[in-house]
């Protein structure tokens, strides 16, 4: 995982909730096979949407407070934030195109 994609509880409000563009947050864990399977797609989307959206990853093992705050019970959980609120979400592994389509729905 690209280190600059990780976001901690301390940074979350500033980086995600106060963002002026939509934000895709991937709640994941190192031991989660489906999480590792979609990681290359999430990282590719981060590059492709640079400037139009932000992409972050939250490790549920080290940031369990965030997972609890957003009711993440199963991973991978992909949440789209816009205007400080969750506007879309999907639980489970999906193809890159499905992740991009979910994000596209919330671009300005």
C-alpha to C-alpha distance for 76 and 34, rounded to whole angstroms? 7
Q: What is the DSSP letter of 13?
A: I
For the question of residue 35 being annotated catalytic, the response is: yes
Q: How far is Cα 52 from Cα 9, in angstroms, rounded to an integer? A: 23
The alpha-carbon radius of gyration of the chain (Å, integer) is 12
- Catalytic residue, chosen from 16, 23, 25, 32, is 32
Q: Tell how far CA 82 is from the center of its chain.
A: 12
Among the listed residues 16, 35, 58, 102, the single catalytic one is 35
Residue 57 to residues 5, 37, 60: CA-CA distances in angstroms?
Answer: 6, 14, 9
Q: Six-digit token pair at 27?
A: 């709640």
- Catalytic residue numbers, as ranges: 32, 35
């Amino acid at each position: 995982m690209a280190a600059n994609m990780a976001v901690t509880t301390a940074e979350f409000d500033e980086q995600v909730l106060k963002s002026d563009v939509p934000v895709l947050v991937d709640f994941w864990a190192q031991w989660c096979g489906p999480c590792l399977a979609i990681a290359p797609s999430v990282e590719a989307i981060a590059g492709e949407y640079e400037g139009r959206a932000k992409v972050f990853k939250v490790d549920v093992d080290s940031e369990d407070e965030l997972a609890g705050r957003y009711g993440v019970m199963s991973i991978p959980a992909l949440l789209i934030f816009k205007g400080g609120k969750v506007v879309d979400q999907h639980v489970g592994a999906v193809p890159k195109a499905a992740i991009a389509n979910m994000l596209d729905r919330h671009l300005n």
